[in-house]
DNA sequence: GCTCACTCATCACCCCAGCTTATGACCCCA
DNA sequence: TGGGGTCATAAGCTGGGGTGATGAGTGAGC
């Protein structure tokens, strides 16, 4: 039952990627700072565990088999998720010597920031980042008090006392379990229909709920919620299990949508978009590391 | 340097998710089939490793701290990637007793199939699936020879001798490194410009390249490639490192786009879309497990 | 043809992370 | 005031993964 018994440890996956990249067990071993026999043995036991031959070994090096290439691609995704985990937790640890302190809303901290931190590390390896996560209000506080150098928020407006720039957009999408009646509709949902429907929602005060509230105010406002849950994760789980539909950030549900655990319900007339903004203290344009991160995140984005 | 030393092992992450879900170390331990002290110790050493307190322990159970909730969300993504890895490799192992054999093109096998297999496992836990990966031609062969029960291909048409249905679409996108001149354009690229530009491409014969070729045939055809590489991964790596622009499946680059390692270059006039199709032997509509998987994958998709 | 430089595999040995069981402290409720 | 639940600590075992030394295969170069 436990996954860990059927999936090789991260170290083994990392080793596999190194072998694929470098073309030799020995070189991969050297790169990871272990001995060649250790590498050889680990790959071998991984092959036994998976029941799949991964490498074609020859006296001139090792190449991936066809199956091995596929396995390596899947392994890469695990390792990339682990890199994001690493970047995130490292920032969360909040070392005092960090050169840049970032305050971010939950959604951004959860889904976007780790990737940015990885990119930043690649561009500026010497920048240690601290992360403070909270809602828009606490992000503003942290910036105004000087605790944070740069903030990221999603929402309709820039908090008082701050300047900022739009770095992207976040679409809210209506989702339901594939078995839900809405999943079989051939016509888009109207605002009125959405307003009438009991939804699974985050508790009052969450950013997502505010946007939804204001977008539906002209259509009669939100109906009484079906369920009020404390976290995005809990909402997703409830929707997947068929409890009812919900409105969630696109960022939170892309995976569930591609895997068909959830179905997007198309919506007519109401654009549920909100801007993602980088923010800072009024008239104190970010400099140094903060500026590096800002330029990194404000690449032109799809003008959808 | 090696990632594995800074990221807890999969077993520990899995345990953390179980604790978050069940609200108690002991119950999580029971679910994973280990003793309560083992769970306690593992979480504790994970907290030491990360330098972050994850749990509020009380005599009535354990709840996540704020930081712990964020860490758990990141951990969940690692575990989900590991689940996809597991589902994929398990199908690749190709057990003889499998009730369903699927043949899929590389792109689909790599990015979509693992998720579908997870969903299928949830719906029909007793269905063991075998996977044969190849290009469109080999998928067709496997179906016609009876080796495979159901196939998935991306491309412009249905291979000879097969029936099929469109289950989704795959957009090809032009991508470049954030530092590339194209990344700073304010106007969309034209077909003629794209045709003139030397690109990093997969070798001749790949599905992506065919679609691109045919879409640009009216604009003068593809320019001489800058580089020809054997795998999507290699192309991505070359683009990220700044070697030049490329055209790749949206599926292959979403992560790089959200993390801003790559920038999408908007394109004017040419819709580089291709259908994703489920296919089977002519007039032999899928039944049994094949039908289960088919209904799962053919949920209505965004009519973009 | 020999040597060198590279590949990978095998063997013997060692160590510690993570497991177990047994126990104890704390809290709350019937 | 027991009995259910929580978590922590302690002592002891085990095995996976590590090292280092060695050997066997292959190809390039003199």
For strand C, which residues in window 40-99 of chain B come within 7 Å by CB?
41-42, 45, 59-60
- The DSSP call for residue B52 is S
On strand C, nucleotides with any atom < 7 Å from a protein CB are 6-12, 18-22, 25-28
The answer to whether residue B213 scores a pLDDT higher than 80 is: yes
Provide the 3-class DSSP secondary structure of residue A176. strand
Question: How many Å lie between the alpha carbon of B204 and the closest alpha carbon of chain A?
Answer: 19
Burial degree of A99 (CB within 10 A; 0-12, 13-18, 19+): middle
Question: Which residues make Cβ contacts (< 8 Å) with residue B217, sequence separation at least 6?
Answer: none
Task: Please give the residue of chain A at the shortest CA–CA distance from B131.
Answer: A67
Provide the 3-class DSSP secondary structure of residue A286. coil
Provide the 3-class DSSP secondary structure of residue B108. helix
Please report which helix (H) or strand (E) contains residue A60, including its range.
none
Mean pLDDT of chain B: 90
Rounded CA-CA distance B269/B248 in Å is 17
Neighbour count for residue A48 (Cβ, 10 Å): 9
| Cβ atoms B249, B211 nearer than 8 A | no
| B291 token code pair | 């039908």
Provide the 3-class DSSP secondary structure of residue B57. strand
Of all residues in chain B, the percent with pLDDT exceeding 70 is: 97
Q: Nearest nt (C1') to A33 (CA)?
A: D18
Question: How many Å lie between the alpha carbon of A126 and the closest alpha carbon of chain B?
Answer: 14
Q: What is the pLDDT of residue B271?
A: 79
- Nearest-by-Cβ selection for A77 from B51, B84, B303: B84
CA angle B50, B51, B57 (to 5 degrees): 95
Nearest-CA residue to the C1' of D21? A37
Q: What is the mean pLDDT of each run of 10 residues along chain A (304 residues)?
A: 89 96 94 94 95 93 93 96 96 81 94 94 91 91 94 87 91 92 90 91 82 84 85 91 93 90 89 90 90 82 42
Q: What is the pLDDT of residue B90?
A: 94
Rounded CA-CA distance B64/A59 in Å is 51
The answer to whether residue B76 scores a pLDDT higher than 80 is: yes
Nearest-CA residue to the C1' of C19? B38
Q: What is the pLDDT of residue B303?
A: 40
| B5 token code pair | 């030393």
pLDDT band at B96 (very low <50, low <70, confident <90, very high): low
pTM of the model: 0.93
Rounded CA-CA distance A304/B15 in Å is 40
From the Cβ of B221, is strand C under 7 Å away? no
| Cβ atoms A55, A42 nearer than 8 A | no
Average pLDDT, integer, range B39-61: 94
Distance set, CA B101 to CA B92, B283, B289 (Å)? 10, 18, 9
Q: Which protein residues, judged by their CB atom, are less than 7 Å from any atom of strand D?
A: A 9, 11-12, 33-38, 41-42, 45, 58-60; B 24-27, 36-37, 40-41, 43-44, 57-62
pLDDT band at B68 (very low <50, low <70, confident <90, very high): very high
Question: Which residues make Cβ contacts (< 8 Å) with residue B3, sequence separation at least 6?
Answer: A10, A14, A79, A82, A83, A86
- Nearest-by-Cβ selection for B258 from A9, A89, A112: A112
- Nearest-by-Cβ selection for B33 from A2, A78, A296: A2
Q: Nearest nt (C1') to A24 (CA)?
A: C7
Provide the 3-class DSSP secondary structure of residue B259. coil
Q: What is the pLDDT of residue A211?
A: 84
Q: Do A70 and B233 touch (CB under 8 A)?
A: no
Nearest to B1 by CA among A88, A38, A21, A121: A121
- Rounded to 10 degrees, the C-alpha dihedral A257/A260/A261/A265 comes to 60
Q: Nearest nt (C1') to A37 (CA)?
A: C9
The answer to whether residue B58 scores a pLDDT higher than 60 is: yes
Question: How many Å lie between the alpha carbon of A52 and the closest alpha carbon of chain B?
Answer: 6
Chain A positions in Cβ-Cβ contact with residue B73 (cut-off 8 Å):
110, 233
Q: What is the pLDDT of residues B1-31, one digit of tens each?
A: 778 899 999 999 999 999 999 999 999 999 9
Q: Do A178 and B264 touch (CB under 8 A)?
A: no
What is the spatial distance, in angstroms and rounded to an integer, between the CA atom of A91 and the C1' atom of C17? Answer: 26
Burial degree of B44 (CB within 10 A; 0-12, 13-18, 19+): middle
Q: What is the pLDDT of residue B230?
A: 82
Chain A positions in Cβ-Cβ contact with residue B70 (cut-off 8 Å):
88, 92, 106, 109-110, 133
Q: What is the pLDDT of residue A300?
A: 53
């Amino acid at each position: 039952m436990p996954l860990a018994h059927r999936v090789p440890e991260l170290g083994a996956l990392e080793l596999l990627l190194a072998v694929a990249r470098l073309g030799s067990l020995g070189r991969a071993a050297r790169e990871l700072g272990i001995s060649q026999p250790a590498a050889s043995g680990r790959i071998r036991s991984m092959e036994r565990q998976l029941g799949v031959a991964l490498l074609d070994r020859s006296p001139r090096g090792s190449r991936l088999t066809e199956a091995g290439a596929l396995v390596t691609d899947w392994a890469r995704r695990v390792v990339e998720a682990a890199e994001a985990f690493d970047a995130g937790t490292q920032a969360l640890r909040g070392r005092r010597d960090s050169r840049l302190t970032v305050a971010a809303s939950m959604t951004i901290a959860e889904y976007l920031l780790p990737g940015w931190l990885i990119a930043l590390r690649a561009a500026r390896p010497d920048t240690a980042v601290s992360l403070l996560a909270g809602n828009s209000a606490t992000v503003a506080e942290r910036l105004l008090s000087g605790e944070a150098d740069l903030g990221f928020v999603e929402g309709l407006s820039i908090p008082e006392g701050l300047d900022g720039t739009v770095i992207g957009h976040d679409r809210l999408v209506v989702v339901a379990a594939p078995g839900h009646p809405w999943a079989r509709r051939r016509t888009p949902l109207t605002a009125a229909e959405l307003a009438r429907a009991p939804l699974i929602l985050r508790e009052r005060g969450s950013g997502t709920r505010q946007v939804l509230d204001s977008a539906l105010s002209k259509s009669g406002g939100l109906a009484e919620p079906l369920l009020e849950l404390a976290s995005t994760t809990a909402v997703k789980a409830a929707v997947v299990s068929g409890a009812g539909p919900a409105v969630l950030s696109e960022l939170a549900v892309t995976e569930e949508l591609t895997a068909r655990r959830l179905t997007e319900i198309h919506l007519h007339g109401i654009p549920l978009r909100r801007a993602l903004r980088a923010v800072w203290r009024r008239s104190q344009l970010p400099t140094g590391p903060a500026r590096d991160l800002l330029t990194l995140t404000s690449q032109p984005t799809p003008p959808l």
